């Protein structure tokens, strides 16, 4: 597989939106291991929100492409002395092929070299134990902090149960 890494442009918002929603929500998402479909209904994000992220200062969406198709993406935002990693998405047909690892490695490089920060943080839904374990294997550690899902107002969908985010971090 010849995977190219590129920063997203505003024109990519629709394709990124389709990818992210297919990975996290709905029936297609259930084929992959990153699904939230069993405990959150509705869309994960809108194209307008993605376009806003791309155009916002100190925010990037990093895409993984095969030929010209976006098969993975991740949002990285500089927040003071650290970067916040979020929305890591890999097309369900390309999961378990190392694409997530490539995107995380690029986030770590970008955080150090472009944002000039030495720490990454992320929010993971607490009931996603397999995802938390995945990040632990990548040397992310639980900070002990939690945030109620939806408290920041930047989430989409209707929860079927009370959820919280577990905050993970990694020193680079």
| Interval 106-155: pLDDT, tens | 999 999 999 999 999 999 999 889 889 999 999 999 999 999 887 665 65
63: pLDDT strictly greater than 80: yes
Give the burial class of 61: count Cβ atoms within 10 A of its Cβ; 0-12 exposed, 13-18 middle, 19 or more buried: buried
Q: What percent of the chain has pLDDT over 70?
A: 91
What is the SS3 assignment for 18? helix
- The answer to whether the beta carbons of residues 56 and 121 sit under 8 Å apart is no
The label of the residue with tokens 């900070």 reads 143
* Rounded Cα gap, residues 116 and 171, in angstroms: 13
* Rounded Cα gap, residues 103 and 123, in angstroms: 16
Give the burial class of 56: count Cβ atoms within 10 A of its Cβ; 0-12 exposed, 13-18 middle, 19 or more buried: exposed
73: pLDDT strictly greater than 70: yes
- Tell me the pTM: 0.91
Q: What pLDDT score was predicted for residue 22?
A: 87
Token pair, residue 156, equals 């989409």
5: pLDDT strictly greater than 80: yes
Kindly list the structural domains of the chain, giving each domain's residue range(s) and its CATH number in brackets, ordered by start: 3-171 (3.40.630.30)
């Amino acid at each position: 597989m010849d995977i190219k890494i590129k920063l997203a442009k505003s024109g990519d918002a629709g394709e990124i939106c389709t990818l992210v929603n297919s990975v996290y929500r709905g029936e297609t998402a259930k084929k992959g291991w990153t699904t939230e479909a069993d405990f959150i209904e509705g869309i994960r994000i809108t194209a307008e929100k993605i376009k806003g992220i791309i155009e916002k200062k100190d925010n990037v969406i990093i895409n993984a492409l095969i030929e010209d198709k976006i098969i993975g993406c991740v949002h990285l935002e500089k927040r003071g002395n650290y970067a916040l990693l979020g929305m890591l998405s890999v097309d369900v047909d390309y999961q378990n092929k190392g694409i997530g690892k490539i995107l995380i490695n690029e986030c770590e490089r970008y955080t150090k070299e472009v944002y000039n920060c030495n720490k990454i943080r992320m929010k993971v839904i607490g009931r996603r134990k397999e995802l938390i374990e995945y990040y632990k294997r990548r040397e992310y550690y639980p900070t002990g902090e939690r945030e109620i899902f939806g408290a920041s107002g930047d989430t989409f969908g209707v929860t079927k149960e009370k959820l919280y985010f577990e905050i993970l971090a990694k020193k680079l």
